[in-house]
Amino acid sequence: MTEKRGKILAFANPKGGVGKSTLSCLVTAMLKWTNSYESVQLIDADKQGSSVRLLQRISDNIPCSHYPISYEYDKLNVIMLEQLMSNCRMQRGNVLVIDTPARPDQEGIELLTKSHAIIIPCSNTLAELPITLDFVKKIDDLKARIRKIHPHIVVIPNKIHLNRKHIDDFISYFDNHDVVIGPPIHDSSFIRKVYTKQYDYNKITQETIFSDLHNVVSFLRKYVIDEELDEIYSSNKSHKDHNISTLR
């Protein structure tokens, strides 16, 4: 809804390889393709800059800047990113997606808490779940300390195998934490190849994985960008409803 303030969605997880860069680029492009927002842009805050290149490959007319925040000497980037975030927030119809580095330092984490939602891709494997849970707890503690409902914590189950029924286990893993579980994205050879091939709107829409991505984008639009989560949290109706994905 364009009359609402600009929204910042930060893709984060201290674990590398969970899908932060891939999903932040695909979600940015798909939000842009809805033609519903004044401005959609991506900031790559990882020093590797892989999402700058990836987004270019998906769509060459979406603004993407590189502000790596992982090192001490990137202090200036942290300040500039903070400024960009507050500018985005002031303007209605703006959406700013941030791809963040693995293992962000405390300053990086504090910067993330200034976003409207932290989107956390995570597979249902023991390599990723425990680190993700620790991260969720850390953000939750920070939120409790500043007594805020933001950032919302949205976990996106990623790289899920089609033929296995893992989602329930996944949801119960995060039980008792203030997170929302979004729709899952299955393991997809298309996504694996997105780093090496040229893809555009027409190609992506023909892929079977498109419906997963579409569900995630619709979910983020409805609950995060159009503020349904804000309404749920502020009315406190289902504060502990962890699986809002089933409401879509």
Ligand X SMILES: Nc1ncnc2c1ncn2[C@@H]1O[C@H](COP(=O)(O)OP(=O)(O)O)[C@@H](O)[C@H]1O
Q: Which residues bind ligand X (CB under 6 A)?
A: 16-22, 102, 158-159, 185, 187-188, 191-192, 195
Q: Which is nearer to ligand X, 17 or 93 (CB)?
A: 17
Map the footprint of Mg ion across residues 20-59, applying CB under 5 A. 20-21
Q: Where in the chain does DSSP place strands (E)? A: 7-11, 39-44, 64-66, 94-99, 117-122, 152-157, 180-181
- 123 contributes a contact to Mg ion by CB under 5 A: no
Stretch that binds Mg ion, among 13-21, 62-70, 105-113, 128-136 (CB under 5 A): 13-21
Query: Closest approach of Cβ 193 to ligand X, in Å?
Result: 8
Query: Closest approach of Cβ 17 to ligand X, in Å?
Result: 4
- 158 contributes a contact to Mg ion by CB under 5 A: no
Indicate if the alpha-carbon torsion angle 120, 124, 127, 129 is positive or negative: positive
Is residue 246 left, alpha or beta, with left meaning phi > 0 and alpha meaning psi from -120 to 50? Answer: alpha
| Binds 188: which of ligand X, Mg ion, none (CB < 5-8 Å by kind) | ligand X
Map the footprint of Mg ion across residues 82-121, applying CB under 5 A. none
CB-count burial class (<10 Å; 0-12, 13-18, 19+) for 11: buried
Residue 4 Cα distances to 35, 134, 150, angstroms: 16, 32, 16
Binding site for Mg ion (CB under 5 A): 20-21
